[in-house]
Amino acid sequence: MKIIKSIRQMQKWADGQRRRGKSIGFVPTMGALHDGHGSLMRAAARRCDSVVVSIFVNPTQFGPNEDYARYPRDAENDAALCRREKMDVLFMPTAEAVYPEGHDTKIRVGRIGEVLEGAVRPGHFSGVATVVAILFEIVRPDVAFFGQKDYQQTVVVNRMTRDLNFPVKIVVSPTVREKDGLAMSSRNRFLSAEERKTAGVLFKALQKGKERIGQGERDAAAVRDAMTLLILEEPAARIEYAVVANLETLEEVSEIKERVVLLLAVRIGRTRLIDNLPVRP
C-alpha cells in the first residue's frame, strides 16, 4: 500500500491508473478507523480495480466550539487497518495543502444543509461539501463510498454531485453496529464505560420508532414522542433532536405516508452521537 501525502503525487498516481484503464474507488474518512470504515473499503474493493482511502480531519466542518482539536488521530492503526483491507493508496494530505494560504472558495449547501445537523452545526455541511469537492477533484474517482450512518451527509453529497455534474457514482453502505446496536463511530472512544452502556439507547429508540410504525402508527409526533420518552429514561442522555423526516428533503413529516427516516442526535456526557433508521410504513 502506498501512503501519499502530497496532492500532486496523488493526482499523478490517479492519472496513471486511469491511463491503464483501471477504475478508482474512493473512501473519504477522518481517520480513527473502525469496521464501519472497513465495510466501505470492502465495498469499494469489490466494485473497483483500485481503492484510495483518504484520512483528513477537515477543519472547516468543525464549529469553533466543537471537537476539532481533540478529534481522535491514530495514523499507525489506521494505516494497519488499510493494509489489512488491501487498499492501494492511503492519502493523507495536510490541512495546509488542502487549504493553502489565501484559500477563499466554498460550496454553499441549500436547505438540506441547514436543517437537523446543519441547524445545530452551522456551516458544517458547507465544510463537508467543500472538502469532498476538493478531494473528488484530486482523486477523480469513478465511485465514491459513504456510510448511511451519516444520513444527512449522504443526501448533501448526492445533491452536490448531481448539481455540479461530478462524474462520480455515489454508493451508500449500511451502518455497521456494535452488538448492542450502537453505530460504530470514531467518537465512541470518548465514552466512559458507564456512558458506553447508556449509548445503546439511540438504537433502542430507533427500533422503538420503527416498531410503532410497524404497528400502524401514522402520526409522526407519536413516533417521535415514543423515541424521546425512551431516551429520557437515561439521565445521562440529552436529546438534541429526534425526528421523523422525509428521506430526500429531510423535512419533518406530520403524517407517515411513505418511507421516512428516523434521525437522532443525542449527547451522552460530553460526547455527541448521531444515528438514523429508514423505515417503510
The catalytic residue positions are 37
Binding range to ligand AMP, per CB under 6 A, among 28-36, 189-197, 230-238, 253-261: 28-36
Q: How far is the CB of 262 from ligand AMP (least distance, A)?
A: 16
Assess contact for 22 and 52: CB atoms under 8 A: no
Burial of 209 (0-12, 13-18, 19+ CB in 10 A): buried
Among all residues, whose Cβ is closest to ligand AMP? 147
The 3-state DSSP class for residue 75 equals helix
Binding string, residues 150-179; x marks residues near ligand AMP by CB under 6 A:
x----------------------x-xx---
In the complex, what is the shortest distance from the CB of residue 174 to ligand AMP, in angstroms, rounded to a whole number?
A: 7
169 forms bridges with which residues in the sheet?
143
By beta-carbon proximity to ligand AMP, the closer residue of 204 and 218 is 204
**Binding of ligand AMP by 30 (CB under 6 A):** yes
DSSP state of 150: S
Tell me, residue by residue from 179 to 218, as one string, x for binding to ligand AMP by CB under 6 A and - for no binding.
----xxxx--------------------------------
Q: Does residue 51 contact residue 45 with C-beta atoms inside 8 Å?
A: yes
CA angle 177, 89, 170 (to 5 degrees): 55
Choice between 223 and 274, CB closer to ligand AMP: 274
Alpha helices in the chain (DSSP H): 7-19, 35-47, 75-84, 95-98, 117-120, 124-139, 151-163, 193-199, 201-214, 220-232
Q: How far apart are CA 124 and CA 114, in angstroms?
A: 9
> How many residues line the site for ligand AMP (CB under 6 A)?
17
77/254 with CB nearer ligand AMP: 77
37 sits near ligand AMP (criterion: CB under 6 A): yes
Residues that bind ligand AMP (CB under 6 A): 29-30, 36-37, 39-40, 146-147, 149-150, 173, 175-176, 183-186
